[in-house]
Amino acid sequence: MRKGKVFLVGAGPGDIGLITVKGLEAIKQAEVLLYDRLANPKLLEYAPSECEFIYCGKLPDRHILRQENINELLVAKALEGKKVVRLKGGDPGVFGRVGEEAESLAQFQIPFEIVPGITSGIAAPLYAGIPVTHREYGESFAIVTAHAKSKDGEPLLEWESLARGVDTIAFYMGVGNLPLICENLIAHGKSSSTPAILIQWGTFGRQKTLQGTLADISEKALAAKFKNPSIILVGDVISLREKINWFEKKPLYGRQILLARTSNGLSELAKELMDYGADVIEFPKWKKTSVHIDLEKVTAYDKILFAQPESVAEFFEALIDNQIDIRNIRANFYGPSFKTIKALNDRGFTATLAEEMYGSGSLLIVGDNSVLKNTENYGVFDVIVTSIKEIDRQFMPIFKRMFGEAQVDTIIFPCSASVEPVLEALRECGIAIEEDVRDSHVVCMGKQTMAAVRGAGLMNPNMPAKATKAALIEYLAEQNGVELQ
């Protein structure tokens, strides 16, 4: 039997842009993917549609899968001849137990590669405006686990060496042992006035920081109910934060956005929102199945409305398959959103928003199997279904965990067709939008979307001045009290 291969991959600290090129390439070819709680679930969307996902998350008080079970799974899936990716938050070699997993694979002579990642002890401080070394403040740096295999879970460390011999120290997952850490560092030589900072969910838009000194940081953390996952950084280099804190100054920093999703591709809007500092959950995840498209009468229509951006590509591919010259089509083109308009523009065609489609003439609507929803305003029309779209339910448990760890404060509906399916999918996840996210800021892109949101019973929806990405980002920045440069 042919053995498979295992890639032990560091997912980076959270920001999906921080995964390595080699790590991303491994995900793209995975047949089985085992992932941790701290690996950003958005990375799973780069895996092939038929990839099997296995959650190996670990919480402070319980494990979904124990380490020995994970080792056994890696071996078993590889012995089935599969390409297996083990996706681990941060760097797999820094408190990631990659050595134990590699040993198990080596025991069965299973080929494997270890793909390093960016570790949170360096990345989280940098996103908080703190380099872990600096010629004036710190020329030595230590990475330390803040809990151990000791009976009481307290770290067994050489405290004097750390306190006297290291300028900057990053403690991993140590909020529960924070008083012990501070007491021991002070007792073994660190000044009680040494700066200390806690960084929770470092590099995510929901990153939070709490700053103090060894003398008071424990009391502050208790009062703020600060929790893991957090990095504890200790050292004089923290004083640079006031000068070079860059990430938390982004216009949408702190925003936790649910972006209603209508397509199965990665969203340019989501990327731009994240570039401006927001956390974005694109929901739900869709999958599509192609169908045969008959375009025999397509040249007879006066107007063609493309229901989704993907339907544009599917339509033009069908033209080639049916050997129809685009120059024979006399219709004007329309789209319900600027994303669809852009898909047409990219192919060299001008197009108009559907809400501006007036006058008489025969109409053809082109789109996936959801095309008949939200079309009551278009009068008489014909339909061509380009594909069958359905929710990818393998991702639903993943979204449930994402919602459990995020605190969504903004919901964006990019088009009217996104409203009903997203509300249904939220209910499937056990989330009643009227209750669980009732305090969220609801934003609609366009008048038709606003009408659909109100029709669904959502209260007080808002709308930017224009239904464009630029107007939306400017609107959200204003809500954050920030003026775009």
Burial class of residue 79, CB neighbours in 10 A (0-12, 13-18, 19+)? middle
Residue type, 388: I
- For 210, the 3-state DSSP assignment is strand
3-class DSSP state of 296: coil
- The pLDDT value recorded for residue 152 is 63
Q: What is the pLDDT of residue 377?
A: 73
Cβ contact 381:360 at 8 Å = no
Decide: helix, strand or coil at residue 42: helix
In the set 3, 5, 22, 58, the catalytic residue is 58
CA-wise closest residue to 214 among 239, 238, 183, 242: 183
Selected catalytic residue, list 82, 83, 167, 173: 173
Q: What CATH class has 288-390?
A: alpha beta
3-state secondary structure of 245: coil
pLDDT one-digit tens code per residue, 184-206? 999 999 999 999 999 999 999 99
Residue 167 and residue 191 in contact, taking contact as beta carbons nearer than 8 Å: no
Q: Which residue has the higher pLDDT, 376 or 45?
A: 45
- Lowest-pLDDT range, 157-166, 322-331, 421-430? 421-430
- pLDDT (mean) for 418-443: 83
User: With bands split at pLDDT 50, 70 and 90, how would you rate the model's confidence at 54?
Assistant: very high
Phi-psi region of 235 (alpha: psi -120 to 50; beta: other; left: phi over 0): left
Asked whether residue 242 carries a pLDDT value surpassing 80, the answer given is yes
Continuous segment of H or E residues that includes residue 23: helix 21-28
Q: Could you write out the DSSP letters of every residue in 228-248? A: SSEEEEESGGGGGHHHH--GG
58 assigned to active site: yes
Please determine, for residue 19, whether its predicted confidence score (pLDDT) is greater than 60.
yes
- What's the DSSP call for residue 248? G
- In the predicted model, what is the mean pLDDT of residues 140-164? 82
Q: Report, as an integer, the average pLDDT of 394-406.
A: 91
Q: Which residues contact 231 (CB under 8 A, 6 or more apart)?
A: 120, 121, 124, 125, 170, 171, 172, 198, 199, 202
What are the residues facing 142 on neighbouring strands? 169
291 and 388 Cβ atoms separated by less than 8 Å: yes
For residue 284, say if its preceding peptide bond is cis, omega within 30 degrees of 0.
Answer: yes
Query: Which of 15, 36, 368, 409 is flagged as catalytic?
Result: 36
What pLDDT was estimated at residue 57? Answer: 78
> Does this chain's domain 122-244 share its CATH topology with 288-390?
no
Task: Compute how many other C-beta atoms are within 10 angstroms of the C-beta atom of residue 34.
Answer: 24
Q: What percent of the chain has pLDDT over 90?
A: 72
* Pairwise CA distance, residues 15 & 239, whole Å: 24
Strand-strand pairing, 332-335 and 303-306: parallel
What are 234's strand-pairing partners? 169, 196
Residues in the chain: 485
Question: Under CATH, which architecture does the 5-117 domain have?
Answer: 3-Layer(aba) Sandwich (3.40)
Which among 448, 430, 390 is positioned nearest to 262, based on CA atoms?
Answer: 390
Q: Which of 49-63, 71-85, 292-306, 436-450 has the lowest mean pLDDT?
A: 49-63
Q: Hunting for tokens 């339509």 — which residue is that?
A: 315
- Structure confidence at residue 436 (pLDDT): 63
What is the SS3 assignment for 309?
A: helix
β-sheet bridge partners, residue 170: 143, 233
CATH entry, 122-244, from 3.40.50.2000, 3.30.950.10, 3.40.50.970, 3.50.50.60:
3.30.950.10
- 442 — phi, psi (to 5°)? -95, 125
Q: Is the pLDDT of residue 311 over 70?
A: yes
Active site residue 36: yes
Q: Mean pLDDT across the chain, nearest whole number? A: 91
The domain limits of the chain are 5-117, 122-244, 256-285+392-479, 288-390
Region 256-285+392-479: CATH code? 3.40.50.10090
Report CA torsion sign: 441, 446, 452, 454: positive
How many helices, marked H, and strands, marked E, lie in the chain?
Answer: 16, 23
